Amino acid sequence: MPKFFVGNNQIINDTIYIKDKDVNHIKKVLRKNIEDEITICNENTKQDYLCKITNIEENEITCKILKELETNAESNIEVSIFQGLPKADKMELIIQKSVELGVHDITPIEMKRCVVKLKEKDKTKKIERWQKISEVAAKQCGRNYIPKINNIENLKEISEKIKDYDAVLVAYEEEKENTLKNELKLLKKDNQEKNDNANNEKIKIAVIIGPEGGIDKEEINALEKNGAKIITLGKRILRTETVALNVLSIIMYELEN
């Protein structure tokens, strides 16, 4: 069933008001009519509702809440992807599939070996485009949260954020010993201790991925100096658009409750 996101200000008692771009989508794409049912998620509380359409106007659709839905689409793991800017439409693929796999947020980063060099005036448009892709993917896969696509940053800014995470993993093709499996074993142990202490805190993991040309050795040294863990993903070198999907899948498999 289609899902749409609204804010607190769009919910009054048992009535929800859908506005803006979703109105046209419901009317013209899905061809929904009065009495049809849709799922609506409060993006502030992450609560899902089963709703019935009661009125359709030019710029607004009114829905009545039939019942609250028990959904658990979000993970106990918050994974942030820091993606070196790739070429062409690869970023769109990375965002779409990462949202489906449970990513918390994605930050594009400018790195030494990035082929793509965006002008300042183009960055805002790109972020808006990427955020829309995240929203569409979140609706399609039934998320209770629309992952945010953050502003484009550089590696220095990322290095300053390492302390905010339980672990920061950097996929590097020249690393041969420290594996993703090793780091996840440590995180799984920490997660168990948190559960035993009844903290119910989410594990926050950052994954840093280089562009097509990989991560420069100086960048690796800087990240490692700031506390990042350099890991290998195995015997084969993965394309940049494959890494996020590979790492996210493994993290969710190993650590998600």
Q: Return d(Cα 185, Cα 254) in angstroms, integer.
A: 9
Q: Encode pLDDT of 80-103 as tens digits.
A: 999 999 988 999 999 999 999 999
Same domain for 7 and 127, yes or no, is no
Number of domains in the chain: 2
Query: In this predicted structure, what is the pLDDT of residue 189?
Result: 81
At which of 53, 69, 85 does a domain end?
69
Q: Which domain holds residue 42?
A: 3-69
Q: Encode pLDDT of 44-65 as tens digits.
A: 888 999 999 999 998 999 999 9
Query: In this predicted structure, what is the pLDDT of residue 197?
Result: 55
Same domain for 175 and 223, yes or no, is yes
Q: How far are the Cα atoms of 52, 75, 166, 192 from residue 196, in angstroms, in the given order? A: 42, 18, 17, 6
Same domain for 14 and 30, yes or no, is yes
Tell me the CATH number at 148. 3.40.1280.10
Joined tokens for residue 138 = 């979140």
Same domain for 90 and 186, yes or no, is yes
At which of 69, 100, 124 does a domain end?
69
Same domain for 16 and 82, yes or no, is no
Same domain for 97 and 119, yes or no, is yes
Please spell the DSSP secondary structure of 14-63, one letter per residue: TEEEEETHHHHIIIIIS---TT-EEEEEETTTTEEEEEEEEEE-SSEEEE
Tell me the CATH number at 47. 2.40.240.20
User: 148-149 and 15-19 as β-strands: parallel, antiparallel, unpaired?
Assistant: unpaired
Same domain for 166 and 247, yes or no, is yes
Phi and psi at residue 119, to the nearest 5°: -75, 155
Which one has a higher pLDDT value, 202 or 56? 56
Same domain for 7 and 124, yes or no, is no
Range list of H helices, the chain: 21-24, 90-101, 120-141, 155-159, 180-196, 217-225, 240-255
For residue 172, the SS3 value is: coil
Query: In this predicted structure, what is the pLDDT of residue 194?
Result: 63
At which of 69, 85, 106 does a domain end?
69
Q: Return d(Cα 90, Cα 82) in angstroms, integer.
A: 14
Given a cut of 70, is residue 196 above it in pLDDT?
Answer: no
Q: Encode pLDDT of 177-193 as tens digits.
A: 999 999 999 888 877 76
Q: Return d(Cα 51, Cα 67) in angstroms, integer.
A: 7
Same domain for 104 and 120, yes or no, is yes
Considering only CA atoms, give the Rg of the chain. 20
Q: Encode pLDDT of 116-133 as tens digits.
A: 889 988 999 999 999 999
Q: Return d(Cα 205, Cα 133) in angstroms, integer.
A: 22
Same domain for 45 and 133, yes or no, is no
Average pLDDT over residues 213-226: 93
Q: Return d(Cα 76, Cα 191) in angstroms, integer.
A: 10
